[in-house]
């Protein structure tokens, strides 16, 4: 379950990065549809955080330690929303670039989360 969510968040984040990167090349700021995309990615990250905490509560352990695991889950949850708020104050193509960069950062966090959990059991 957790591994499936990790893959889902990573793929959604890369799609969001491509979409906002496209807006950047078209010289466009982030628009309503982009924010809906960010919301979808954020909901997935929230589901991942909840699932991760439930699995810890059930006695499962993250390979590299609980503290690092929870810290990365929280970081993954806040990355895209923070970038989204920054793009609200920067109504130019550079706001789109900021969200695209944030989505790439989230994808990298997901790769690290995969390693930290040490999981293969989908």
Partner 1 sequence: MSEPNAVGRARLVQGPGMLLVWLYGVMSVGAVSRSVYQIATEYDRAPLAYTLSAVAAVVYAFITYTLFRGGETARKAALVCCAAELVGVLTVGTWTMADPSAFPDATVWSDYGLGYLLIPVLLPVTGIVWLRRSRRTAQA
DSSP output for 49-96:
HHHHHHHHHTT---TT-HHHHHHHHHHHHHHHHHHHHHHHH--SHHHH
Does residue 26 bind partner 1 (CB under 8 A)? no
Does residue 94 bind partner 1 (CB under 8 A)? yes
From 11, 21, 90, 114, residue interacting with partner 1 (rule: CB under 8 A): 90
Phi, psi dihedral angles at 50 (to 5 degrees): -60, -45
* Closest distance to partner 1 from the beta carbon of 44 (Å): 20
- Three-state DSSP state, 36: helix
Based on CB atoms, which residue is closest to partner 1, 1 or 68?
A: 68
Residues that bind partner 1 (CB under 8 A): 67-68, 71, 75, 79, 82-83, 86-87, 89-90, 92, 94-95, 97-98, 101-102, 105, 108
């Amino acid at each position: 379950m957790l591994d499936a969510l990790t893959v889902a968040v990573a793929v959604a984040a890369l799609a969001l990065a491509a979409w906002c990167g496209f807006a950047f090349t078209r010289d466009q700021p982030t628009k309503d549809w982009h924010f809906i995309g960010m919301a979808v990615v954020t909901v997935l990250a929230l589901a991942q955080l909840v699932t991760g905490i439930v699995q810890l509560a059930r006695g499962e352990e993250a390979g590299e330690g609980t503290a690092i695991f929870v810290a990365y889950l929280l970081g993954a949850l806040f990355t895209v929303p923070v970038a989204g708020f920054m793009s609200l104050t920067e109504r130019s193509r550079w706001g789109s670039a900021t969200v695209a960069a944030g989505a790439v950062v989230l994808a990298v966090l997901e790769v690290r989360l995969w390693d930290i959990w040490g999981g293969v059991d989908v």
